Structure 1
């Protein structure tokens, strides 16, 4: 008997010892697996890695559901309907306000139901335990439930019930990566939580049990049974009335997929790429300058116009609208024709010299691989050739240097050296108009006067001024662009171009473009004088100044005074329309981002129509007034001879016959008193021969060939038919000329002849004896010479 009792005591002691060791091990393991919880649930989500962008009226421009937490759609508990809160508590944790984190009664009940059913049919997790699971995700095991119970009690000690409920309702997961009831309400019903009906509120409470299984879009019928069960239970507890319960049973869901109210992905990307964080911490919201309503209208106008010009092979476009008084960008639209035969995924990125590093101030996102249509490319920052849209700036510098709006510029055939070749400049229409005023040259967008203007100003000085206007991508040497810079051969972006036009609109002041509200206006130096920009605005808004090339009326003749300039690059690859009135500056580009040419699209067609339509809406937003005119400008009546002047004939005179009389504005001190000579730009720099300018406005020089020119014979043309037109300028009708080729005199006496070209290196020389018609005048026996070398391959 004694031995039996001893063995029993030993067994009990061993059992207790093992149990004690197991309990100690369990306690140690439990303490090791319990993770610390924040003292406040407001610290759980941490810092914002990607802010939400809103327009100037607070409407969302961006939304993301890929993060761990819901940052942007949180609502305080008092903004959530009380019925929604009751539905969640009744469905998920009926004794939420009574337990200390774990509902042991519910756990026992769930255990009994699971044993009876032979499978897991109920979990009995409290709302507090679900919050713990959101903060510390673990595999769904018995041990996890054990640990979550301890952590739930810890969470209840440091946070109130209302704080726990608020966090839960804002972070509980739903399908499609939505978190919180606000995002779920928007995802399923496209409404705020405070506008949900009873059935929709109860649906949100049921969906959290199995978000993917009960998803209303993919499985709309699965939620019917649990929803009916919940409604019946709530009716028994007097939370719902019988009438409300019947309505819920018969009422149908009105599902509506949400969409961003404002579509501006390229603007958003630009803002995020250029918004600096505070040590990696962003504000919850960034209030941008974009006007959502205007953005929709501009985007629609651009997309509609692109679709209507599909036959012109125009597939891409962009439009920017700026309040130039503040520099705020109000609309940033990028459009792409979505025709099934058009793809641009094989191209595009801002183009530049591989060996030339972009300046640090250039605001361009890093090039990315294009996957879809041109909409994936930010056409507003892509580099394109602006064509004639650049001409106002060279004429503005010419006005600064002494020209006036009435200065006559020779519009005659002009050839200039480009590299080792020669380029013949011509106007869009192919016509030459002889001497034209600066007003008409700019208004009609004539090319040759613009080239003469940049020769007058100087390419280097012009390029420096362009960079001060914001053209940071024009970073090559002046010789790289040459005189063609006046005609827009340098690649710029619509963003840069509209920045430069705001200077003209702002009386010559540079105000940096802004995309974020609340930042102070940055006033930099005065780029142009108020008088110069007043004249530019007056010329660009003068419909009468563009009749030679564009006719009267048309798209460019706006009902409210608006300065307008169009541009078309070579081969019709890019079409532009830029404009500004008293309040806004607008720029439109249309073309193809894959580099292909359009079918004759010009700036005065598609882009001009979009520009005119945008201003029609802008003029309804704000009162209009005439463009600024400096009070220092002087108005004077002048007469202009439309015919080229003969020797000794005045260009401007108040007494000449057969001349048109008009009124023109002048900068003080530049108005003509009696006469004004024809404006002549200096010749292109090369070897300086002995020259004489005493009897003519144009110097004696070779027009063709140019020194250092390289020519190639065409194998498709018989050799005896290939000729080169050799020509000199600056000669008079009585001047004696002598030509010499490779040391052999030629029997040519005129200022031009056709030479049958031959391969090899050649030297062409010419000598001229000036004849004045008066024996005693100086220069009678003076001989002037010029010489060029060129190569024929």
Structure 2
């Protein structure tokens, strides 16, 4: 009786069939455009595929494929399994419906009646959709009506194409492209009958067990090829299903760090970036080669950025080596100690303020500077002193103490402000950084450094880097005068001036015009080489992700060889000429008196030129050389007083009159004298100008009774 009622209801619904459906219906083109891949596609500047990266984590979908991009075997098996009269019906297979009704009448198991068009209605989200459990007759009726409307608006080829691109397969895999590239690690057009059978077997229940899928796929395969050897593919099926969580085959990984970074900034499905694919691959190969050379020096990683000077476009961006133990970490954006890489900006500022010239003599001698946190005693890299040295040689040869003396004149606040304008993150007050800022006592990224050096290449004009191939329209910010930056360019390209530290035959020297600066952080934890030619700015970092020290590797031996070869590659077909000297700069022959540097042609800001250099441009203030700051003394009453005197001495006074003061009491006008302690506890020792009583230096010692 129940079966007769069901049959009567089915026949009543068929009689009441209404073809009209007034709700909006999507076109095939709309569905195709709105069906997004789970990957963001990063192209290079010429439109070549550079990187695919996952941005959607609820499901994994590849590209939308045309029917001619899909295996004919898969399409044949799909129609055989799901809709054998697909090309004959108009959305509803009435033979299947009647067959199901007949089975119901006799109490037999109901046959499947859903056509591909009806299933596609659900995949498109049309109507009320399917809920948990069996579909009600009302919902089935709605699905059937929508399938008929779909058939009126779309062609059969469009329906079949949309189905295979929207159908869920295994786990998170949606669409035939993702299924083929993940499970079978090949294109969908290359699937054979055995592989296609497993794919179609997943459609009724994507997460069925291996045994169920193997049995179902064998039935499907033998349905079209009766002699199929199912057992021969049993192991292959097991391996395919085990790959369900692996990356898709055929997705290039040429710029993973760049892809993640630019993809987060440019939130579009397809990004046509500024990267040049060929240069990117060449830089990766050069990094790999040089890291192999450095593998015995505990060097594990490197990063490189290449920028075009004029456009600001990023030509190459390699955040880590492919063989690194932390290959996913982006060292281009990582903050590391700057080393000597900030010195060019300091000297440019000093030139602009006319505090020094490239010919100025600076003292490369032992020095100590009073700071709010105590004495600061800088050292050179080789712990040697050169005495008086010109600013040109001091910058080109990267001497530390002259740079600190220059910063003392420029002032930390002024230098910090310039660095902030150039994109460096220096969020704390100036006394936090102190004079150590001259030697890179701050953390910077390779990205920040490369952009700042590009500003030097562009005569002090700073603009943000351009990430997209179509170019950017950024307004330039003039941060330094062209005259001062030209002097720095001239110095950093002077191979003779840097010979004192690096020799004449170093990786910093190129057969074309270029300017470059190296840097090495404390304990050799970071190597830098950043420089520019007429056309490109190249920044290189070498080190270890965990911050561990390298073994006897400096900027010139670690990062500089990579910088040199990248520059050589960039200029394999293009020349690099020296920048034109701007108005406001004059060059003339100079000579030194009482100094070892030979006569030479030197350049100055107009109005600061000198033919004869006789004295230092920055006066070195007197400093207390004895006693040692922070020294602790113990008074012994059993030892004669004359044997317990403390030596006081000063250096750098020359003809300057001085006076000593201990705990606010004046004690001596002599540059060297011996003091018999008559005060105990913590003592403040001041060195004063004898006429003005201006404090020249201060230290603290303690004497215990």
TM-score (norm 1): 0.71
Correspondence for 2:221? 227
Correspondence for 1:169? 164
**Where does 1:239-258 land on structure 2 (aligned, <5 Å)?**
258=249
Select 1:477's aligned residue among 429, 451, 465: 429
Distance 1:389 1:514 in 2: 23
Instruction: Give aligned pairs, total.
Output: 669
Distance 2:182 2:617 in 1: 68
Deviates more, 1:389-398 or 1:659-668: 659-668
SS in 2 for 1:414: coil
Select 1:675's aligned residue among 612, 615, 621: 612
1:524 aligns with 2:476: yes
Correspondence for 2:598? 660
Correspondence for 1:413? 366
- What is the CA-CA distance between 1:124 and the residue it aligns to? 5.6
1:62 aligns with 2:52: yes
Q: 1:65 to 1:746 in 2, by over 3 A?
A: closer
Q: 1:664 to 1:112 in 2, by over 3 A?
A: farther
Distance 1:563 1:416 in 2: 31
Select 1:154's aligned residue among 146, 158, 161: 146
Correspondence for 1:689? none
Distance 1:623 1:503 in 2: 21
Distance 1:664 1:24 in 2: 103
Select 2:580's aligned residue among 607, 613, 629: 629
- What is the CA-CA distance between 1:452 and the residue it aligns to? 2.0
SS in 2 for 1:143: coil
Distance 1:196 1:413 in 2: 75
The answer (yes or no) to whether the contact 2:404–2:439 under 8 Å persists in 1 is yes
SS in 2 for 1:567: strand
Distance 1:149 1:23 in 2: 10
Q: 1:85 to 1:627 in 2, by over 3 A?
A: farther
**Where does 1:303-318 land on structure 2 (aligned, <5 Å)?**
303-306=288-291, 308-318=293-303
Distance 1:559 1:144 in 2: 80
1:178 aligns with 2:173: yes
1:74 aligns with 2:11: no
Correspondence for 2:540? 588
Distance 1:551 1:414 in 2: 26
**Where does 1:66-465 land on structure 2 (aligned, <5 Å)?**
73-77=63-67, 85=75, 88-106=78-96, 123=112, 125-135=114-124, 138=130, 142-143=134-135, 147-148=139-140, 150-158=142-150, 159-160=153-154, 161-175=156-170, 177-188=172-183, 190-193=185-188, 208=203, 226-231=220-225, 258-275=249-266, 283-306=268-291, 308-335=293-320, 374-402=326-354, 403-465=356-418
RMSD: 4.8
Q: 1:167 to 1:149 in 2, by over 3 A?
A: farther
- What is the CA-CA distance between 1:199 and the residue it aligns to? 7.4
- What is the CA-CA distance between 1:333 and the residue it aligns to? 1.8
- What is the CA-CA distance between 1:87 and the residue it aligns to? 5.5
Q: 1:215 to 1:578 in 2, by over 3 A?
A: farther
Q: 1:146 to 1:140 in 2, by over 3 A?
A: farther
Distance 1:106 1:26 in 2: 16
The C-alpha deviation readout for 1:166-193, integer Å capped at 9, x for no partner, is 2112112233533223333433565544
Distance 1:398 1:110 in 2: 91
Select 1:711's aligned residue among 613, 625, 630: 630
Correspondence for 2:444? 492
Distance 1:787 1:444 in 2: 30
The C-alpha deviation readout for 1:445-504, integer Å capped at 9, x for no partner, is 001111122223222222211122111x11222222122211111222111111101101
Identify unmatched segments of 5+ residues in structure 1.
Answer: 1-11, 234-244, 276-281, 340-372, 645-657, 682-696, 770-781
Q: 1:726 to 1:185 in 2, by over 3 A?
A: farther
The answer (yes or no) to whether the contact 2:404–2:435 under 8 Å persists in 1 is yes
Deviates more, 1:158-167 or 1:16-25: 16-25
Q: 1:168 to 1:416 in 2, by over 3 A?
A: same
Q: 1:227 to 1:25 in 2, by over 3 A?
A: closer
SS in 1 for 2:534: coil
The answer (yes or no) to whether the contact 1:636–1:663 under 8 Å persists in 2 is yes
Deviates more, 1:564-573 or 1:122-131: 122-131
Distance 1:202 1:723 in 2: 99
Deviates more, 1:386-395 or 1:156-165: 156-165
**Where does 1:633-652 land on structure 2 (aligned, <5 Å)?**
633-641=585-593, 643-644=594-595
Select 1:610's aligned residue among 562, 580, 598: 562
Q: 1:394 to 1:577 in 2, by over 3 A?
A: same
1:750 aligns with 2:701: no
TM-score (norm 2): 0.79
Distance 1:444 1:722 in 2: 45
Q: 1:667 to 1:698 in 2, by over 3 A?
A: closer
Q: 1:22 to 1:550 in 2, by over 3 A?
A: same
Correspondence for 1:365? none
The answer (yes or no) to whether the contact 2:258–2:319 under 8 Å persists in 1 is no
SS in 2 for 1:427: coil
Distance 2:309 2:466 in 1: 10
Distance 1:190 1:337 in 2: 21
The answer (yes or no) to whether the contact 2:663–2:683 under 8 Å persists in 1 is yes
Distance 2:361 2:457 in 1: 26
Distance 1:461 1:49 in 2: 50
The C-alpha deviation readout for 1:339-376, integer Å capped at 9, x for no partner, is 8xxxxxxxxxxxxxxxxxxxxxxxxxxxxxxxxx6445
Identify unmatched segments of 5+ residues in structure 2.
Answer: none
The answer (yes or no) to whether the contact 2:320–2:329 under 8 Å persists in 1 is no
